[in-house]
Amino acid sequence: MTQQHAPRDPHAFIAGLPKAELHVHHVGSASPRIVAELAARHPDSKVPTDPEALADYFTFTDFAHFIQVYLSVVDLIRTPEDVRLLTYEVARDMARQQVRYAELTVTPYSSTRRGIDERAFMDAIEDARKAAEADFGTVLRWCFDIPGEAGLESAEETLRLATDERLRPEGLVSFGLGGPEIGVPRPQFKPYFDRAIAAGLHSVPHAGETTGPQTVWDALTELRAERIGHGTSSAQDPKLLAHLAEHRIPLEVCPTSNIATRAVRTLDEHPIKEFVEAGVLVTVNSDDPPMFGTDLNTEYAVAARLLGLDERGIAELAKNAVHASFLDEAGKARIAEEIDAYTERWLAP
Ligand SMILES: Nc1ncnc2c1ncn2[C@@H]1O[C@H](CCC(=O)c2cccc(C(=O)O)c2)[C@@H](O)[C@H]1O
Ligand SMILES: [Zn+2]
């Protein structure tokens, strides 16, 4: 992807560009309005009840602090109605950014452990998914992820919720691993990923976000990752970059997330350019957009700036996500064609 001509206004082009998002968290996408509304319902919570104060609350000193704040928002999700409202509103926010398809990472263990009935949880996310598709045209699929720091008990429970035919939601396509990486080695989760893959789910663990390249190697070799969440530290290992490029294993890059959690010091130091120069398939994602004071369109603008992309280059990024997704081939072709048609209309003299 090289610079052909300076984009007229990348933000305007990006705002209308049809997109797919592969790495974005369910609770992490709760808008300040939704979080404030839920916090008002639960006065015992320390989460601020007004959106302005929330911006300060969502300022993190390090990754561990981010997880602490993240879990305080998880604590606000207490009823199936909270789950349904959150999910439907997240889809509304996505539709406003022309997101046609998203694989939303859900951590069911964290909700069922807090007392939400598992059947009611699955019904709530599925009802919202179908309503969002009908009302906004946004197609949602689920990734169920293990909160790694909660250990093998949470792995067992997440696998059960993902594979029990009486519970597994129709929209479930993948199986992930989130939470802190430090002190949470990937290999211990191999038996759970093996069983999830055997049940037809795609493996998409986080790796290399706050630890080195070995975590990414482990995700590839032990967890048979088809995509890598973040993979930021891959840039430290040329052999790993070559492996990712050769085997077309996409990275789910979340630039502002890496700055907000202090995984990367400044955007200009972000390794996204090294990834592209090494031939690695890069997708652009927002991770936990309201918590990081960003949204997907902003992440595309950041990537376009760091990679020096014009409209065609930006459109290629969007198509990378479509092709790296687990949507059916017909669905992929439909969105890719929409991206091309939009781009040609935009560039027509
Ligand atoms: N950028 C991110 N990088 C990594 N993860 C991210 C990111 N953004 C969001 N998450 C989510 O944060 C959660 C963390 C949950 C967690 O650590 C934990 C620990 C102990 C107990 C419990 C519990 O619920 O009992 C939960 C994960 O579920 C994950 O999906
Ligand atoms: Zn994430």
Q: What is this structure's pTM?
A: 0.96
Which two tokens mark 297? 């369109």
Q: Tell me the pLDDT of the chain (349 aa) as tens digits.
A: 555 555 577 899 999 999 999 999 999 999 888 898 888 888 888 899 887 888 889 988 999 999 999 999 999 999 999 999 999 999 999 999 999 999 999 999 999 999 999 999 999 999 999 999 999 999 999 999 999 999 999 999 999 999 999 999 999 999 999 999 999 999 999 999 999 999 999 999 999 999 999 999 999 999 999 999 999 999 999 999 999 999 999 999 999 999 999 999 999 999 999 999 999 999 999 999 999 999 999 999 999 999 999 999 999 999 999 999 999 999 999 999 999 999 999 999 8
- CATH fold of 11-344, please? TIM Barrel (3.20.20)
User: Which of helix, strand or coil describes residue 95?
Assistant: helix
Short-list 228, 168, 214, 216, CA closest to 195: 168
Query: What are the DSSP E strand ranges found in 232-304?
Result: 251-253, 282-284
Q: Which of 71, 73, 254 to mutate to test the pocket of ligand 1 (most atoms within 8 A of CB)?
A: 71
Give CA angle at 44 (41, 49), nearest 5°.
55
181 tagged catalytic = no
Say how many Å lie between the CA of residue 9 and the centre of ligand 1. Answer: 36
Backbone dihedral region for residue 326 (phi beyond 0: left; psi -120 to 50: alpha; all else: beta): alpha
The length of the chain is 349
Helix, strand, coil shares of the chain as percentages rounded to 5? 55, 15, 30
Q: Terminal CA-to-CA distance of the chain, rounded, Å?
A: 22
Which two tokens mark 235? 């840039």
Q: Ligand 1: residues within 6 Å at CB?
A: 25, 28, 67, 70-71, 105, 107, 110, 113, 145, 147, 149-150, 178-180, 206, 209, 257, 287-288
